Chain A
């Protein structure tokens, strides 16, 4: 018999590809062991495509079951999971969907699915106690420039060329308009969620840049600088106060010297 590692390589290939003939040579059971091994290959596909359908119900509503199911089936075989927690599987499904069958997939499909992924992640987050303005102000003006902020875990910042947030709000409300025109426009979205609750907020580009840079771990000074590049009239002090008063910040730390961005 082959060493265990080689047997498992053959079976893993069979499970992912669906071609069970070669791996079944080492097996017994029933009249056709390959057919029985195919039970595992079938479960691999059906369980993971089912998990993707559960994560992307809005995308399925928008694009139709056939298209999303076909894309999910192809995705599972092309990009199988690498971690045992299936809640973490599917982060790059929106990008995959955008490249899948271009004749059937509309140009905003990937953006809408990416927003849905972010909505799903935010809704299972758990908000932490937020900072008071006094916690931040005690660092002083210069100290703040070199400080970093940790934001709430249920925050996501996304920027798209389509106003997919309007479409998502319509889906989430359950009120489908008779006609809906999806506008092609620069759209900056903040997704905020905790313990099943959710809010989608449209941000101006400078505020979005500021908050997204903080989310990435940039210092307040670097984030303000990036926002000023977006809009010369950006008021970093006001933006910082608004962010803290909204309860978005949960920790502040002085950045190590020399790590300005």
Chain B
């Protein structure tokens, strides 16, 4: 894992979305690394072929959306097998997914749904993580979710839950700094304290994405932050990112921009900004490598 992290050299990459795929293949724009969602490629042979071309020229990470490690029903074995085959072909530098669930009794709910943080859930998620890591033959990075609600009967905090997962399974963590900001704002806790309590040694990657405020209905001026990935990173999230870097040190960072998708150049500009923040915090220039 350390070797993979070093291969990315703590630099910021961007999410590779289907509308940018042909541009990346044909023009090879500058990018330190790229992250792909396997679910966009597993059932699309042409896109998969192009992704393999991309992976020959850029470091690529795979970020799963549908593995559902928090589902009480278990992990979809067929989906896991398809993911394994894609990993064999792409040889990703990192493989990650969410502390969430999205399947129930054969239904796929196309969202990242919240989990209660207690011993029962911990046992279930740990078993699923073992299955995933065994099937993939590599460490799996678990990402903290963006939350709008919490379970009233949870018996541990999110960071306590994540730390226990690391201890039980040897998994690594993906700290989504934007999710930390969004969840803290929505649920009324301190995002900086959350980062301070996050298991730093297990952090192998950081995420940054845009959010969208909407009225919460609780009273005038009250807002709910929605994790939309539909725009630039907000200023307070950049500040929290700087704090995270001071605590975690250099980590590969990924810019997520999925909706109201801008140009690839705009995404890359956000990655360059992240590199600039990192350079300022860590006191060194982090070079932004050309693709080839």
* Chain A residues, CB < 8 A from B66: 83-85
Interface members, chain B 28-77 (any A CB < 8 Å): 39-40, 42-47, 49, 65-68, 71-73, 76
Whether B111 contacts A44 by the Cβ 8 Å rule is: yes
Tell me the nearest residue of chain A to B106, going by C-beta.
A82
Taking the complex as formed, is B253 at the interface, i.e. its CB lies under 8 A from any CB of chain A?
Answer: no
* Chain B residues, CB < 8 A from A43: 110-111
CA distance A124 to B45 in the complex (A): 6
* Chain A residues, CB < 8 A from B115: 4
Whether A80 contacts B65 by the Cβ 8 Å rule is: no
Q: How many A-B residue pairs have CB under 8 A?
A: 145
Nearest Cβ distance between residue B183 and chain A, in whole angstroms? 10
Chain B proximity mask over A123-158: 1 for CB below 8 Å, otherwise 0: 111100000000000000000000000000100000
Chain B proximity mask over A19-50: 1 for CB below 8 Å, otherwise 0: 00000101111111101110110011001100
CA distance A8 to B106 in the complex (A): 12
CA distance A16 to B110 in the complex (A): 10
Of A15, A29, A47, A83, which contacts B149 at CB under 8 A? A29
- The verdict on A15 contacting B217 (CB below 8 Å), with A8-B71, A28-B149, A82-B106 known, is no
Whether B45 contacts A81 by the Cβ 8 Å rule is: no
Whether A7 contacts B116 by the Cβ 8 Å rule is: yes
Taking the complex as formed, is A172 at the interface, i.e. its CB lies under 8 A from any CB of chain B?
Answer: no
Tell me the nearest residue of chain A to B101, going by C-beta.
A8
Taking the complex as formed, is A170 at the interface, i.e. its CB lies under 8 A from any CB of chain B?
Answer: no
Taking the complex as formed, is B124 at the interface, i.e. its CB lies under 8 A from any CB of chain A?
Answer: yes
Interface size counted on chain A using CB atoms at 8 A: 46
Nearest Cβ distance between residue A33 and chain B, in whole angstroms? 5
Whether A1 contacts B39 by the Cβ 8 Å rule is: no
- The verdict on A83 contacting B46 (CB below 8 Å), with A27-B149, A29-B187, A44-B109 known, is no
Nearest Cβ distance between residue B283 and chain A, in whole angstroms? 39
Whether B120 contacts A40 by the Cβ 8 Å rule is: no
Of B40, B107, B222, which contacts A12 at CB under 8 A? B107
Of A4, A24, A86, A125, which contacts B121 at CB under 8 A? A4
Interface members, chain B 212-262 (any A CB < 8 Å): 216-219, 222, 224, 226
Tell me the nearest residue of chain B to A25, going by C-beta.
B152
* Chain A residues, CB < 8 A from B76: 84
Tell me the nearest residue of chain B to A87, going by C-beta.
B43
Whether A29 contacts B217 by the Cβ 8 Å rule is: no
The 9 A-B residue pairs whose C-beta atoms are closest, nearest first, are: A84-B66, A31-B218, A1-B153, A12-B104, A5-B72, A29-B149, A85-B43, A87-B43, A36-B148
- Listed in ascending order, the chain A residues whose CB lies under 8 Å from chain B are 1, 3-5, 7-9, 11-12, 15-16, 24, 26-33, 35-37, 39-40, 43-44, 47-48, 80-88, 123-126, 153, 194-196
Known contacts A26-B152, A28-B150, A80-B108, then 9 further A-B pairs from the complex at CB < 8 Å, ordered by chain A residue: A1-B116, A1-B153, A8-B72, A26-B116, A47-B110, A81-B107, A84-B67, A84-B108, A126-B49
- Listed in ascending order, the chain B residues whose CB lies under 8 Å from chain A are 39-40, 42-47, 49, 65-68, 71-73, 76, 79, 101-111, 113-116, 118, 120-121, 124, 147-153, 186-187, 216-219, 222, 224, 226
Give 29 CB contacts A-B under 8 Å. A1-B118, A5-B72, A7-B116, A8-B101, A8-B104, A9-B104, A12-B104, A12-B105, A15-B111, A15-B113, A24-B149, A27-B151, A30-B186, A30-B224, A31-B217, A37-B148, A37-B149, A43-B110, A44-B111, A48-B110, A82-B106, A84-B65, A84-B76, A87-B43, A88-B43, A124-B47, A125-B45, A125-B46, A153-B45
